[in-house]
Amino acid sequence: MMLCFLQVEFLLWREHPSLDRSSAFLSRVYREDIGPCLSFTRSELSQLVQRAVENNSLTIEPVAMSALPLVKASALECGGPKKCALSGLSRVCQHRIKLGDKGSYYYISPSSRARITAVCNFFTYIRYILQGLVRQNAEQIFWEVIRLRREMAVAKLGKQEMCHILGM
């Protein structure tokens, strides 16, 4: 069986798994997937989101539609029901995020939510590996990691763009 360089990087990481970015495997995932997926117009907030995802301290919750008109002054900084805090674009924001224990909520668009959750799903699986909760062989784990990386790429591109690329 011939191994590709991606599998080799993964197998080397799996010998001593950690969340340390210095491994070739995680360095590649950060460079090719996580970084681009969590790169938004508001770069300072993007960095805070990435840190919260890494620390497993980010909360995403739906916004009750009846509560939307009650948004007051903080909506300017945190987006609002009609402006995504991460992209700055006018979008209907049906979810909001909270970073750690901070009191501020940030309203996010569906595309921003998809990008964040794709990265969260990847980190959740990596944490499961670190905790010894994944009971599959290395090849099965590798292909699940590839699937999660593909999910980040699709989220970054957006569903419409991906469907166009794939001719769907």
Is residue 152 in some structural domain?
no
Question: CA-CA distance, 122 to 26, in Å (whole number)?
Answer: 11
Number of compact structural domains in the chain? 1
Is residue 7 in some structural domain?
no
Residue 114 pLDDT > 70:
yes
- Predicted confidence at residue 4, as pLDDT, reads 87
- Predicted confidence at residue 74, as pLDDT, reads 47
Closest CA to 8 of 29, 23, 25: 25
On whether the pTM is more than 0.95, the answer is no
Is residue 144 in some structural domain?
no
- Domain holding 106, by residue range, is 26-66+74-132
The gap between the terminal CA atoms of the chain, to the nearest Å, is: 33
Is residue 47 in some structural domain?
yes
Is residue 115 in some structural domain?
yes
Average pLDDT, the chain: 86
- Predicted confidence at residue 70, as pLDDT, reads 46
Is residue 46 in some structural domain?
yes
Q: Each residue of 4-50: pLDDT tens digit?
A: 889 999 999 999 999 999 999 999 999 999 999 999 999 999 999 99
Q: Each residue of 80-112: pLDDT tens digit?
A: 668 999 999 998 899 999 998 877 899 999 999
